[in-house]
Structure 1
Amino acid sequence: MTTQTVLGHFIDGKRVAGASGRHADIFNPATGEVQAQVALADVDEVRAAVASARQAQPGWAATNPQRRARVFIRFVDLLNTHMDELAAMLSKEHGKTVEDSRGDIVRGLEVCEFVIGAPHLLKGEFTEGAGPAIDMYSIRQPVGIGAGITPFNFPGMIPMWMFAPAIACGNAFILKPSERDPSLPLRLAELMIEAGLPAGILNVVNGDRHAVDALLTDPDIGAISFVGSTPIARYVYGTAAANGKRAQCFGGAKNHMVVMPDADLDQAVNALMGAGYGSAGERCMAVSVAVPVGEETANRLVEKLVPKIEALRIGPFTDDKADMGPVVTREAKARIEGLIDRGVEEGAKLLVDGRGFKLQGYEGGYFVGGTLFDHVTPDMDIYRQEIFGPVLSVVRAGTYEDALALPMSHEYGNGVAIFTRDGDAARDFASRVNIGMVGINVPIPVPLAYHSFGGWKASSFGDLNQHGTDSIRFWTKTKTVTARWPSGIKDGAEFVMPVMK
């Protein structure tokens, strides 16, 4: 029996072995074989990471913002230098194509570039003469220790979305990545040290619910960021709040793409292919519902989609011509295929069936073929639930108002898109739709790093979003100072509420 590599944690500037005695298998999704193991932390190991962060954070907070930003200048350079290594590492555990993994890392890198501007973003406000001989100013100070709980589908991007602004603002940070693909987050921590980050400012603790609960209840942690499913997002948000922490928690999605009769149909079809089947649909911003307006639009759209879906090239990450790879686990494959079964039972028309897909030489892999349903209705499970796989549902709408009503009435509110040449329709749609991120002829409207990312409704819990200026507000506390010097102070005590006369 071959001895498996066991990945541990990254605490106080170095890799450390796990001490709990509990481990989880790390699979190669293309083959179904165990390729390594990861240690699952207990409470003591989480506390060790917190202790390291608590010791290091005051000195880091006292480091001026410009010098903190220089760490990220060097880190961005290291990410570019090691891009091939990092992308291959990500793909081997996640299963997505290497080119897709590069995109994962680059979108995280862009947030690191954004926080190089932290010296400007952290500036406060000042009012001279706010009252008689009184000056008033506000300053932003770090929350202290932050923590991030991140999902398997973006093991590079989402950790960087969290730890980059948190650390640039002067905090220490503890990352609990997904145990399904932990290698890249550990490597990112090593590169941060190489970039000049002091030991203890970024710790990585691998684990399951035991580690999560330890972070949520630890009295030294002031803020929690989470990305995952909506039920867990609700749990994390509620538990964090009950323990006196600020929290931003991002959950599930059911992203619609409305296709108007005047849309360039070839552009719309290509957009649906990439947004629906890229990364095997394992994206919180994946388009999983196409909403063509009018029967003619629907018929033409479906006619163009079917052959493209049937021609999808599916393969392991080592196939540089693959359009998409496997899904992440055996359980994910079973769940997706079970929902396809359910869609058939509910009466949706299955036009392309991805169940039972087998790839020669990779028969044990977790592959699901591209799947297309037509005539899906809002009462069906495949419409209401987030499938998180390569399954696209076509919901036909009679009018623009019918199409608009679909995303507006769904419980999730992450992303939405409209494809049209009509500026009035696009403007009306963007104004009225109750969704956090809107694309106009853009299928996956993930904002760039200097704007904020976040959904509405059951897709997001908390008042502040990820990256952009919201991230600076989330990872800092505002302190307001009112100052008056002796020359402006009147003799005698004042017993009434002070007002500015």
Structure 2
Amino acid sequence: MGIERTVPAVHLHIGGQARAEGTGGMAEHVYPATGEVQGLVPLAGPADVAEAVEAAHAAFPAWRSWTPAERRGVLVRLAELIKADVAELGRLSVLDNGMTHRIGLHLASAMAGYTEYYAGWADKIEGRVTTAPAQRRELAYTIPEPYGVVGIILTWNGPLISVGMKVIPALAAGNTVVVKPSELTPYATEHLMRLVREAGIPDGVVNLVLGGPDAGEALVRHPLVQKVSFTGGPTTARKILASCAESLKPAVLELGGKSANLVFPDADLDRVTLINTSSVFETLAGQGCAIPSRLLVHESVYDEVAEKVIARVRSLRFGDPFDPTTNVSPVVTRAARDRILGMIDRARSQGAGRLLAGGGVPDGVPAGGYYVEPTVFGDVVPDSEIAQVEVFGPVLSLLRFSSEEEAVAIANSTSYGLAAYVNTRDIGRVNRLTSQLRAGGVYVNGAPPVVGYELPFGGVGISGYGREGGLEGLLEFVRTKAVAIA
């Protein structure tokens, strides 16, 4: 479609050195839209990870000694470079994991926004003077301090936005970082490292080591890593926490979700349909943690909403992710496609719901691509696998409810608690439900799950803990020291 499809050579970036090979060997990168190998990716082994951590540790004293205004200035410069290079970062994001070009550009722009936002916080991290007992004549105050080396494990479905939510606030707070992207998404972060150097961030402050589980484990376990920030699934998070527990190392965990969207009769049903189907099917083919994959609809408008959803699904278009008319991208790997199709087949065979649309592999997609039809199940059983387990694919479950109490009970019935959605014109109902829904964020009448860098994002339950975004996301990367002077 007129957009260049070449990919850059990929490196490990350790202490300012770009290395074309790692001790973990090489991996083939497969483009999900065609199933074809695009290039080779060097994988870090434990020795490479250790070098990266040591480089970050060595760079920490100098980086911490920079004045907050100096850190702000270099991060502002990085934000400017990212904004100027959004087109290239968006292009490479498509080649990373097959997302549509529109989504790739959006996520690159969002990373620029996070970078600019946290650059502005760099010189506003303040302690406070406390009221000490007058008879002791003490001066008491607090000092916010960086941790030191932070180990950051990025998700493959949105590595650039993850950089904005994790890496940038860690740097603004004065930490150095070792970043481990997934080997499935090497290209956009490779380009980003060039911008990091161009912005003037010193060698060793940001280190990047691509790799699989062995590299992640080595990063988490390294004794010089003072805190871990991870985005992924609960299964991997449990292993990370087990490793962190050995040294009582703190962690931020942004995990999965099975978010419910509650639709009441007074809602704008056309708007609900458009936003919900766009979120579940057009945003990375359902490979998003906070998508409203359970659509809970009041029984009085259930049939109307179901018809609108089916009509919308039938209008979606598959194809080349760079084609501006393509709505639905492939999923990330062949294994992911097979896993999603397996969940769909089990839902059908177990009677978990009525299949209303999709359910298989679409016709007319690029040969070898990892595509799954947008799939809708109606009248889904609330305690079935398809309603309880995160699919991480283009699958939507429709459920009926008859009262607020029933809707809340169904919404809160999973172990996840990342996001919840409410659609109603009744402000009293909004106030009631926001306090009852067990979720890290509640989004009303179409507000998207990541509403912007100014608000915190995170979950409860097996959706993790800690927050990213907003002031809360910055404070995850500082610890408070108390000082009292007699």
Same fold (TM over 0.5): yes
**How far off its partner does 1:242 sit?**
2.1
Indicate yes or no: 2:40 matched with 1:37: yes
| Aligned residues of 2:24 and 2:45 also touching (Cα < 8 A) | no
In structure 2, how many angstroms separate the alpha carbons of the residues matched to 1:373 and 1:408?
Answer: 20
1:288 alignment counterpart: 293
User: Which residue is 1:475 aligned to?
Assistant: 477
Aligned residues of 1:88 and 1:98 also touching (Cα < 8 A): yes
Contact 2:331 2:372 in 1 (8 A): yes
Alignment pair present for 1:337 and 2:341? yes
Tell me the alpha carbon deviations over residues 308-345 of structure 1, each in whole angstroms, 9 at most, x when there is no partner.
10110112222111112111111111111111111111
Structure 1: distance between partners of 2:110 and 2:479: 26
Residues 1:460 and 2:458 aligned together:
no
Shift of 1:280: 0.5
**1:257·1:289 contact (CA, 8 Å) conserved in 2?**
yes
Deviation for aligned residue 1:109: 2.0
Q: Tell whether the 8 Å contact from 2:169 to 2:474 is kept in structure 1 after alignment.
A: yes
Name the structure 1 match of 2:158: 154
Q: Which amino acid aligns with 1:61?
A: R
Pair 436,172 (structure 1): closer, same or farther in 2 beyond 3 Å = same
Among candidates 415, 425, 431, match of residue 429 of structure 2 = 425
Aligned to 1:48: 51
| One of 73, 85, 89 as aligned partner of 1:86 | 89
Deviation string for 1:204-244 (max 9, x for gaps)?
00111111111111010000000001111122123213223
Greater Rg, structure 1 or structure 2? 1
Deviation at 1:376, TM superposition (A): 0.5
1:97 is aligned to 2:100: yes
Cα distance in 2 for partners of 1:73, 1:5 equals 25
Residue 103 of structure 1: how far off its partner (Å): 1.6
Compared CA separation, residues 437 and 21, structure 1 to 2 (3 A): closer
1:447 Cα offset (Å): 3.6
* Correspondence for 1:358 among 360, 363, 369: 363
SS in 1 for 2:420: strand
> Structure 1 residues 95, 56: CA separation in 2 closer, same or farther (over 3 Å shift)?
same
Alignment of 1:236-247 (within 5 A): 236-247=240-251
- Amino acid aligned to 1:103: H
How far did residue 142 of structure 1 move?
0.8
Report the equivalent of 1:498.
none
> Which residue in 1 is equivalent to 2:26?
23
Aligned mates of 1:400, 1:74 — CA distance in 2:
49
Structure 2 CA distance for partners of 1:119 and 1:80, relative to 1, 3 Å: closer
In 2: Cα distance, 1:378 partner to 1:394 partner? 10
Q: Percent same amino acid among aligned pairs? A: 31
CA RMSD of aligned residues (A): 1.6
Aligned 8 A contact 1:26 1:180 in 2:
yes
Indicate if the aligned counterparts of 1:216 and 1:243 stay in contact, CA closer than 8 A: no
The secondary structure found in structure 2 opposite 1:412 is coil
Partner of residue 378, structure 1: 382
Matched, 1:203 2:191: no
Q: How does 1:252-267 map to 2 (within 5 A)?
A: 252-267=256-271
| Match among 389, 392, 397 for residue 393 of structure 2 | 389
Instruction: Tell me how far apart the structure 2 counterparts of residues 311 and 336 of structure 1 sit (CA, whole Å).
Output: 22
Q: What's the counterpart of residue 487 of structure 1? A: none
Pick aligned residue for 1:273 from 249, 273, 277: 277
Q: CA contact under 8 A between 1:452 and 1:467: conserved in structure 2?
A: yes
TM-score by length of 2: 0.95
Deviation readout 1:276-311 (Å, 9 max, x if unpaired):
1122011101111100011x3110001111111011
Shift of 1:19: 3.1
Aligned twin of 1:118: 121
From 58, 62, 67, give the equivalent of 2:65.
62
Aligned equivalents of 2:133, 2:62: Cα separation in 1: 33
Q: Which structure 2 segments of 5+ residues have no match? A: 1-6
**Contact conserved, 1:9 with 1:15, CA < 8 A, in 2?**
yes
Deviation at 1:120, TM superposition (A): 4.6
Instruction: Kindly indicate whether the alpha-carbon contact (under 8 Å) linking 1:105 and 1:156 is maintained by their aligned counterparts in 2.
Output: yes
C-alpha distance in 2 between matches for 1:19 and 1:303: 53
Counterpart secondary structure, 2:301:
helix
User: What is aligned with 2:3?
Assistant: none
Gaps of 5+ in 1: 485-501
2:12·2:22 contact (CA, 8 Å) conserved in 1?
A: no
State whether residues 8 and 187 of structure 2, in contact with CA within 8 Å, keep that contact through their aligned partners in structure 1: no
TM-score by length of 1: 0.92
Partner of 2:76: 73
Report what 1:496 is aligned to.
Answer: none
Greater CA drift, 57-66 or 188-197: 188-197
Q: Tell which deviates more after alignment, 376-385 or 17-26.
A: 17-26
Residue 405 of structure 1 pairs with residue 416 of structure 2: no
1:493 matched to which residue of 2? none
